[in-house]
């Protein structure tokens, strides 16, 4: 017991510099909170307090988490290797500020969680345990994970942190995690790829057009400056973005999250522009900017409603023929519900694109107009939507129900990265909450299967 407590202390000390359990990544925030979906999780400012309101107690939580910080994907790895090959082959003179690049060798891994990313997930598990202590001391979440290695490992590291916070006394650890396959042809509400007419996430033309249009608004002067500091490198506009990507990816490759030297090559305004670039990418891939974006999330959203209402019909009726695997959702071993089996805690692990589509399916950003591709919009203008505020690495949404003294019915609330996101179209109160029945009534898009029919010709 003592050694476990000491180990816990050691773990937090080892990473105390930049990432903490309570507020996430807090070093160089004017830069690091502007990396869109490449930012490490940080506690987002909330207009409404995310605490449990006085007179209420939490009766149900479904965590939906993105995996922790990872190395670049395989396709980006190729682009980054070419970037440095070109710089090293062709630069005839480096300015003092850029001189470190001369000896820089690109040797990051690919696809997997970084050590920092594993630590983020352990922190997330500890935070979840502490935040929902009235439930977590009594119950263990029902865990599900999409089958990709980095997602599964994230679920494991989260459960590790949860177990550690509990005092490492539960004999049922390691907790079972239901894996749902990402293979072609498999139905998976944590990886909705069945919809064949959906222009695939970030690679869709709509998302690419929005990114390119916005990039071209601000990148020229950055490109000129970088190329003036790397004589004859002749980097293209997209390579300037790739050079900016080196800042988040080299930062999260440091186990303690120490900010990378690449970050200082760009100023704060440029990081804001970059952040908005990443927000456009996600908005036009996964949310309302993409005609079938919200539809990708309806399967999970229906599962959430089934869990909140203890009603399996939402995942077995005719409208549920979406990304749901009906074999899994039919059985209480693979899709447990109450009230016969009390199950107030669920924890699901997935990817940024899936989280975005699920938020869109639930209509959480319905009051946000399509993001402009020519003018930077603030998070006030976008009603709290930005990729960095919603789907950073180790992002976590808490879908809560609470019982309150003054209310007959349970209330529903959504907290994304510590920010309360007020529910839409269900008479939300000043704390952003709706009664369960009004929340369910507002979810006709979900309970009708979204536009799933348009997925197939």
- The residues assigned a catalytic role are 67, 352
Bin 167: left if φ > 0, else alpha if -120 < ψ < 50, else beta.
Answer: left
- With CB under 6 A as the contact rule, which of the stretches 43-51, 127-135, 152-160, 271-279 interacts with ligand NAG? 152-160
How many other C-beta atoms can be found within 10 angstroms of the C-beta atom of residue 17? 14
Cβ distance 192 to 357 under 8 Å? yes
Residues 10-39 that bind ligand NAG (CB under 6 A): 17
Residue 9 binds ligand NAG, judged by CB under 6 A = no
Residue 291 binds ligand NAG, judged by CB under 6 A = yes
**Based on CB atoms, which residue is closest to ligand NAG, 244 or 421?**
421
Residue 108 binds ligand NAG, judged by CB under 6 A = no
Which phi and psi (to 5°) does residue 213 adopt?
Answer: -60, -45
- With CB under 6 A as the contact rule, which of the stretches 85-93, 265-273, 348-356, 406-414 interacts with ligand NAG? 85-93
H or E element, residue 66:
strand 56-66
Alpha-carbon gap, residue 140 to 177, rounded angstroms: 11
The H-assigned helical ranges of 177-236 are 205-229
Residues 233-272 that bind ligand NAG (CB under 6 A): 254-256, 258
Residue 90 binds ligand NAG, judged by CB under 6 A = yes
Residue 111 binds ligand NAG, judged by CB under 6 A = no
262: which residues sit within 8 A by CB, 6+ positions away?
A: 243, 244, 246, 247, 250
- Contact code string over 118-137 relative to ligand NAG, x by CB under 6 A: xx------------------
**Based on CB atoms, which residue is closest to ligand NAG, 24 or 344?**
24
In three-state secondary structure terms, 124 is helix
- With CB under 6 A as the contact rule, which of the stretches 287-295, 340-348, 351-359, 398-406 interacts with ligand NAG? 287-295
- Among 241, 17, 299, 41, which Cα is nearest to 158's? 41
247: which residues sit within 8 A by CB, 6+ positions away?
A: 31, 35, 259, 260, 262, 263, 265, 266
Read off the DSSP letter of residue 53.
P
**Residue 161: CB minimum distance to ligand NAG, A:** 9
Read off the DSSP letter of residue 27.
S
Three-class DSSP labels, 297-317? HHHHHHHHHHHHHCCHHHHCC
**Based on CB atoms, which residue is closest to ligand NAG, 206 or 431?**
206
In three-state secondary structure terms, 341 is coil
Measured over the CA atoms of residue 32, residue 34, residue 40 and residue 41, the dihedral's sign is: positive
Cβ distance 237 to 303 under 8 Å? no
Residue 230 binds ligand NAG, judged by CB under 6 A = no
Give the residue nearest to ligand NAG (CB). 363
**Residue 31: CB minimum distance to ligand NAG, A:** 17
- With CB under 6 A as the contact rule, which of the stretches 97-105, 263-271, 311-319, 396-404 interacts with ligand NAG? 97-105
Concatenate the DSSP letters of all residues of 86-125 into one string: HHHHH-SEE-TTTGGGTT-------SSBPHHHHHHHHHHH
How many residues form the binding site for ligand NAG (CB under 6 A)? Answer: 46
* Residue 62, beta-bridge partner list: 346, 399
**Based on CB atoms, which residue is closest to ligand NAG, 17 or 77?**
17
- With CB under 6 A as the contact rule, which of the stretches 58-66, 70-78, 217-225, 286-294 interacts with ligand NAG? 286-294
Q: CA end-to-end span of the chain, whole Å?
A: 60
Candidates 363, 392, 422, 432: give the one binding ligand NAG (CB under 6 A): 363
C-alpha angle 404-406-409 in degrees, rounded to nearest 5: 60
Candidates 325, 379, 381, 383: give the one binding ligand NAG (CB under 6 A): 325
**Residue 371: CB minimum distance to ligand NAG, A:** 8
Candidates 92, 103, 172, 406: give the one binding ligand NAG (CB under 6 A): 103
Candidates 37, 239, 288, 390: give the one binding ligand NAG (CB under 6 A): 288
- Which residues here bind ligand NAG, judged by CB under 6 A? 17, 85-86, 89-90, 99-100, 102-103, 118-119, 153, 156-157, 160, 186-187, 194, 206, 209-210, 213, 254-256, 258, 284, 288-289, 291, 321-322, 324-328, 363, 366, 370, 373, 424-425, 442, 444-445
């Amino acid at each position: 017991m003592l050694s476990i407590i000491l180990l816990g202390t050691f773990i937090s000390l080892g990473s105390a510099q930049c990432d903490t359990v309570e507020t996430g990544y807090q070093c160089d925030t004017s830069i690091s909170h502007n990396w869109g979906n490449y930012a490490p999780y940080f506690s987002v400012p909330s207009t409404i307090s995310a605490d449990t309101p006085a007179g209420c107690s939490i009766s149900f939580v479904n965590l939906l988490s993105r995996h922790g910080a990872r190395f670049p994907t395989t396709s980006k790895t190729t682009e980054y290797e070419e970037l440095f090959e070109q710089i090293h082959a062709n630069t005839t003179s480096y300015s003092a500020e850029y001189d470190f690049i001369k000896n820089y060798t690109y040797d990051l891994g690919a696809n997997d969680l970084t050590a920092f990313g594993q630590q983020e997930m352990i922190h997330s598990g500890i935070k979840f345990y502490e935040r929902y202590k009235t439930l977590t001391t009594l119950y263990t979440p029902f865990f599900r994970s999409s089958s990709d290695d980095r997602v599964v490992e994230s679920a494991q590291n989260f459960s590790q942190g949860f177990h550690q916070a509990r005092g490492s006394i539960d004999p049922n650890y390691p907790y079972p995690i239901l894996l749902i396959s990402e293979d072609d042809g498999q139905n998976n509400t944590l990886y909705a790829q069945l919809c064949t007419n959906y222009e695939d996430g970030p690679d869709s033309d709509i998302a690419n057009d929005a990114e390119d249009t916005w990039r071209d608004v601000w990148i020229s002067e950055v490109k000129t400056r970088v190329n003036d500091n790397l004589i004859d490198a002749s980097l293209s506009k997209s390579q300037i973005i790739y050079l900016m990507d080196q800042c988040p990816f080299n930062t999260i490759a440091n186990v303690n999250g120490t900010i990378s030297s690449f970050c200082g090559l760009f100023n704060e305004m440029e990081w804001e522009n970059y952040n908005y670039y990443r927000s456009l990418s996600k908005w036009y891939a996964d949310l309302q900017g993409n005609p079938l974006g919200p539809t990708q999330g309806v399967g999970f959203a229906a599962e959430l409603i089934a869990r909140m209402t203890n009603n399996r019909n939402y995942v077995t009726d005719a409208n549920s023929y979406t990304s749901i695997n009906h074999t899994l959702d039919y059985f209480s071993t693979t899709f447990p519900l109450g009230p016969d089996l009390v199950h107030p805690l669920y924890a699901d692990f997935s990817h940024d694109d899936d989280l975005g589509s699920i938020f869109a399916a639930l209509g959480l950003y319905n009051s946000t107009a399509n993001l402009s591709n020519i003018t930077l919009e603030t998070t006030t203008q976008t009603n709290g939507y930005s990729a960095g505020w919603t789907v950073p690495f180790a992002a976590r949404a808490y879908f809560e129900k609470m019982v309150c003294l003054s209310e007959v019915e349970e209330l529903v609330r959504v907290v994304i990265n510590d920010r309360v996101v007020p529910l839409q179209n269900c008479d939300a109160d000043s704390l952003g909450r709706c009664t369960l029945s009004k929340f369910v009534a507002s979810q006709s898009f979900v309970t009708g299967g979204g536009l799933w029919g348009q997925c197939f010709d």
